[in-house]
Amino acid sequence: MKKNYVLIPLLLLLFTGLTAQIEQRYTDEVFTDDQIKVTLDEQYAVNATIFPLLFLGGTEFVPENLLMDVYEPDPAVDTVSSRPVVLVVHGGDALPRLANGACWGDKQDTVTIVTARKLARMGYVAVAPNYRLGWNPLATTQDAFLDGLVDAGVRIQQDMKACARFLRMDEAERGNTYGIAGDKMTIWGTASSAGTYSGFAAYINELEELQTPTFFVQDSMGNIFNTFNEMEAGNIDGTVVGMNALGDTTNYVNWPEYSSKFQMSVLGSAIALDTGVIDADEPPMIQMGNPNSVVTFVEEGPIQLPTTGEVVAFVQLSQGLIKEAVAKGLNDAWINAGLSDPYTLAQQANPRFGGTEGWLPLSGHPDNEYPWVWWDTLNCPASAGSFDVLPEADRELGLLQIDTMASYFGVRACITMGLGCDLSGVSPVKDIVLDDGLIKMAPNPTYGSVRIESTDPGRLIEDITVVAIDGRAIQRHRVENTIFTKDDLQLPAGLYTVIVRFEDGIVPKKLLIH
């Protein structure tokens, strides 16, 4: 009889009814919402914003105070004083909320707050920064559009790195106000451009990476130029002053003595304008995406002018970016750890995402690239338009998706940043997978009823576990018989894994419920 060895999570073997596990800091929630301290509008830098020139009739860049909100376990109840920190970066296509036609675009976005609070309850310090906004997405030529897009990305990258430096400066010089470990820092781009700009901050670290053909455009006089001009914009890190041809300062230097680097990234459907931005010594990457969205089907694809639909450039999409990261070895430590927690197993079981460590599937409507995003529909005038962009956005789905993200992130953060987590509960245990001919399961697909039968009359089924697509063990049935029947499993429509256990091994089977 054929036998294969696979990794089965200990968590799935130790539950009664639902999965049981020992809650621990950094992988699970160990604080309540009441134990989270929130500090709003802390200034981390000041820099020159282009916004008045674009939209307010201004004639020059003006200084803007850059602010952040900090979510942390209250030091009054937390015994740890040096805690890993996560920058939770809001989306919004580098334009203000509502002005971008949507209900997001600020550090007070619903998904940003919920993500930050979730991470704080897990024991992290979560920092939600605002950053300089402004570019012209309605540019009528491909080159002008791309020029504005890159300019906006560079400014945001400079601001995120300034925020990282400020936190490290505060740790070193001001008594560590927020109780962070500055050498354990993650950047987390939520959605709607935030993933891409966070990817800029984590992986665009050399001038040469902005000098590939995609970054060269043509002006109205036919002159070819690079969209990134270091003399005008300041350097990539923002530690060199930028000044344009009119003598207007475009970048102020903030905290240049400190490191701008991140130790890990979590990116919401990020793209890169060109391949080859990933180097082998850069931080490991989690890339989140909707496996039902066409955006995740291919490694490269076009970005287009909103005004005319003309192709601006062919870019590396999220699939290509995460696969490049894995190919360069960035996620090797996670692969070598042999993680077998439910969220990892669910990721590995996905037909397209499963072969790429760090590519986390979060399913939703096919036209919704970010199914984990939602907003306050009652208080946002742009709610109807937002549903056009992200159809079937839903609070309950979003909360579930953020829980999944955080759990998938937590065990990997423990490994990457050496957080001292006990991962024995999610470390591999070998179980023998038996030939699937040992059982018959029908009907499949089903509307809820199922009959599972051992084809060997002398071999009893000990128990049956039903696992959801997100890795949660949601039902367990003790059997001790050769036949198990259920008139109605009382489960929502979807794809499940049924694990049938015998004395000497298991048989996993997919079950589709209509």
Residue type, 221: M
166 CB burial (10 A radius; 0-12, 13-18, 19+): buried
The stretch 381-409 carries a mean pLDDT of 93
Whether 203 and 312 map to the same domain: the answer is yes
pLDDT at 426: 67
Tell whether the model's pLDDT for residue 425 goes beyond 80. Answer: no
Tell me, yes or no, whether 431 lies in a domain: no
Both tokens of 88, joined, read 């939770």
- Among candidate residues 378, 394, 421, the one where a domain is terminated: 421
Q: For a pLDDT cut of 70, what percent of the chain falls above it?
A: 93
Is residue 143 a part of any domain in this protein?
A: yes
SS3 call for 210: helix
Contact of 156 with 200, CB cutoff 8 Å: yes
- Does 375 have pLDDT greater than 70? yes
Give the model's confidence band at 435: pLDDT under 50 very low, under 70 low, under 90 confident, else very high.
confident
Query: Alpha carbon 137 to chain centroid distance?
Result: 24
How does residue 433 score in pLDDT terms, banded at 50, 70 and 90? confident
For 48-63, the pLDDT digits (tens) are 999 998 888 888 999 9
pTM: predicted TM-score of the whole model, two decimal places: 0.82
Report DSSP state, residue 472.
Answer: -
Residue 12 belongs to a domain: no
Beta-carbon contacts of 358 under 8 Å, excluding residues fewer than 6 positions away, are: 284, 285, 286, 287, 322, 325, 326, 331, 334, 412
Residue 447 has what DSSP assignment? S
pLDDT score of 17: 32
> At 161, is the pLDDT very low, low, confident or very high (cuts 50, 70, 90)?
very high
Q: Look at residue 353 and give its three-state secondary structure.
A: coil
Asked if residue 412 is part of any domain, the answer here is yes
How far apart CA 289 and CA 318 sit, in angstroms, is 8
Categorize the per-residue pLDDT at 1 as very low, low, confident or very high, splitting at 50, 70 and 90.
Answer: very low
Confidence of residue 427 (pLDDT cuts 50, 70, 90): low
Tokens of 170: 């505060």
My answer on whether 215 and 363 are in the same domain is: yes
Provide the CA 349 distance to its chain's centre, in angstroms. Answer: 19
Phi and psi torsions of 493, nearest 5°: -60, 140
Q: Please report the pLDDT score of residue 513 as a whole number.
A: 92
User: 111 or 11: which carries more pLDDT confidence?
Assistant: 111
Nearest to 266 by CA among 402, 386, 375: 402
Residue that wins the pLDDT comparison between 469 and 93? 93
Q: Does 472 share its domain with 346?
A: no
* CATH at 481: 2.60.40.1930
Among 394, 421, 448, identify where a domain stops. 421
Q: How high is the mean pLDDT of the chain?
A: 90
What pLDDT does residue 15 have?
Answer: 33
Rounded mean pLDDT, 357-375: 95
Number of CB atoms found within 10 A of residue 332's CB:
13
- Asked whether residue 220 is assigned to any structural domain, the reply reads yes
The segment with the largest mean pLDDT, out of 104-118, 209-223, 470-484, is: 104-118
* Residues 260-295 as b or e (16 or more Cβ within 10 Å = b): bbbbbbbbbbbbbbbeebbeeebbbbbbbbbbbbeb
pLDDT at 429 > cutoff 70: no
CB-neighbour burial class of residue 59 (10 A; exposed 0-12, middle 13-18, buried 19+): exposed
What's the pLDDT score for residue 8?
Answer: 33
Q: Please tell me the total count of domains within the chain.
A: 2
Written as one string, the DSSP assignment of 365-432 is -TT-S-TT----GGG-TTHHHHHHHSTT--HHHHHHHHHHHHHHHHHHHHHHTT-----GGGSEEEEE
Examine the fold and report which residue of 365, 398, 421 is the final residue of a domain before the chain moves on. 421
Query: pLDDT tens digits for 264-299?
Result: 999 999 999 989 999 999 999 999 999 999 999 999
Please indicate, yes or no, whether residues 338 and 453 belong to a single structural domain of this protein: no
Tell me which residue has tokens 């397209």. 352
Say yes or no: 371 and 469 in one domain.
Answer: no
* In a domain? residue 95: yes
State the average pLDDT over residues 298-327: 91
Measured CA to CA, the distance from residue 351 to residue 245 in angstroms comes to 52
SS percent in the chain: helix, strand, coil, step 5: 30, 30, 45
Say yes or no: 416 and 442 in one domain. no
| Element at 334 (helix H, strand E) | helix 332-337
Structural domain for 463, as ranges: 436-513
